[in-house]
């Protein structure tokens, strides 16, 4: 990681911390701290165990996708590989968009996959994860609309999230439909950019447009292979849905731990909606997701104070954010040390 990238990451973490501090000041620092300190430790521990279930489930989803590409890995290794993916997402700006290239590079080294196939693997997992989240949010919204009065703020957030999802789906559909033209147009430009960089960077050779085109074809081929393996795709979707269910249950337990229980339907709505903030230019959406979750909980048809909402969200995100950072960061660190020793 270059000095510029390190500074950018540090600035992102500082911004995320600043947002959380601002949220605490807004809801009342004293009330927030008192609520957090008085949390039921048994329920906090239960939330942590359930969050681990989310982590394991999405690791199995990645394992399923890798199996579709002819790269079988053990359950434990799938868990560690997803830890690296989640770590990359959580320490780079724009969440998955920033972490996927880093994850693809690690997968290519750890599993002997070509880089483009590793990128296709992690992109497939992230794409599959969008489907159950949309289902959870839609069912929860319909349930709340039928049983309670849903605030305009929640409806606005749901509409915005739906708009983002539809836009991404349309963009992906067009990119797939016109993938050949896209590859023809993009390959020469990428080759030209890298060739210009190679003139000033020692030991870096410029690739040909044909070489870039082969890699793009390899990426699309891997995507097609994952999408046409229906059995594995069903398994991947199932693990993804289980992971989302674990996140929903973890938030529900976290709020119960701070003395502000909410209906499970509310948790099922705000978790996927809050995840949309992961696309902000912050490390893994840190700060932005917390703010979105607190705003949604306060606007939801439940009796939750802003301080209790922030306390519950901090407990929830403490597990969902930092668990993969610790596991994935440890894997990356140990791998780096081992490779350095071999060198």
228 exposure class (CB count in 10 Å sphere: 0-12, 13-18, 19+): exposed
DSSP string across 134-179 = HHHHHHHHHHHHHHSPPPHHHHHHHHHHHHHHHHHHHHHHHHHHTH
The domain of 334 spans: 41-175+230-342
In a domain, 33, yes or no: no
For residue 213, pLDDT beyond 90: no
**pLDDT (tens digit, 9 = 90+) per residue, 70-93?**
888 999 999 999 999 989 888 877
In a domain, 94, yes or no: yes
In sequence order, the 6+-apart residues with CB closer than 8 A to the CB of 297 are: 255, 262, 266, 270, 304, 309, 312, 313
Q: pLDDT grade, residue 281 (50/70/90)?
A: confident
Q: Per-residue pLDDT tens for 110-145?
A: 887 888 888 888 888 888 888 888 888 888 877 877
> Quick check: 100 pLDDT over 70?
yes
Q: Where are the beta strands (DSSP E) in 226-299?
A: none
Q: Is residue 181 part of a domain?
A: no
Whether the pLDDT of residue 55 is over 70: the answer is yes
Q: Residue 107: is its pLDDT beyond 90? A: no
Q: Count the alpha carbons within 13 Å of 319 in the hemisphere toward its beta carbon.
A: 26
Residue that is written with structure tokens 């559909």 in the block = 173
pTM: 0.82
Enter the tokens of residue 138.
């839609």
Query: Can you give the pLDDT at residue 221?
Result: 66
Residue 215 domain-assigned (yes or no):
no
Query: Poorest-confidence range of 41-50, 76-85, 162-171, 301-310?
Result: 162-171
In a domain, 73, yes or no: yes
User: Exposed e or buried b for every residue in 147-183, given b needs 16+ CB within 10 A?
Assistant: eeebeeebeebbeebbeebeeeeeeeeeeeeebeeeb
Share of the chain above pLDDT 70, in %: 75
Instruction: Establish if 122 belongs to a structural domain.
Output: yes
Report the chain's C-alpha Rg in angstroms: 21
Total domains, the chain = 1
């Amino acid at each position: 990681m270059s000095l510029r990238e390190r500074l950018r990451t540090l600035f992102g973490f500082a911004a995320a911390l600043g947002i959380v501090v601002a949220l605490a000041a807004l809801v009342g620092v004293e009330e927030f701290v008192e609520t957090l300190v008085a949390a039921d430790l048994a329920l906090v521990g239960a939330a942590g165990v359930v969050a681990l279930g989310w982590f394991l489930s999405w690791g199995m989803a990645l394992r399923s996708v890798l199996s579709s590409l002819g790269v079988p890995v053990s359950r434990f290794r799938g868990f560690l590989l997803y830890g690296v993916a989640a770590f990359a997402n959580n320490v780079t700006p724009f969440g998955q968009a920033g972490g996927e290239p880093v994850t693809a590079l690690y997968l290519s080294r750890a599993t002997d996959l070509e880089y483009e196939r590793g990128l296709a693997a992690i992109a497939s997992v992230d794409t599959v994860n969008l489907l159950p989240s949309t289902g959870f949010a839609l069912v929860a919204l319909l349930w709340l609309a039928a049983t309670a009065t849903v605030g305009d703020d929640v409806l606005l957030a749901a509409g915005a999230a739906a708009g983002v999802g539809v836009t991404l789906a349309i963009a992906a559909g067009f990119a797939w439909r016109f993938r050949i033209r896209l590859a023809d147009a993009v390959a020469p430009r990428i080759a030209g950019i890298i060739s210009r960089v190679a003139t000033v960077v020692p030991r870096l050779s410029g690739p040909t447009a044909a070489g870039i085109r082969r890699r793009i074809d390899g990426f699309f081929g891997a995507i097609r292979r994952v999408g046409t393996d229906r059995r594995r795709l069903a398994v991947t979707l199932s693990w993804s849905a289980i992971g989302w269910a674990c996140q929903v249950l973890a938030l529900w337990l976290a709020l119960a731990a701070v003395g502000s229980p909410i209906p499970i339907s509310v948790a099922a709505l705000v978790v996927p909606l809050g995840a949309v903030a992961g696309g902000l230019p912050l490390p893994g959406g840190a700060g932005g997701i917390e703010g979105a979750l607190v705003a949604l909980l306060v606007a939801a048809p439940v009796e939750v104070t802003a301080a209790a909402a922030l306390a519950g969200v901090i407990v929830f995100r403490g597990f969902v954010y930092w668990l993969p950072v610790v596991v994935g960061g440890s894997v990356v660190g140990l791998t780096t040390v081992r490779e350095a020793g071999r060198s």
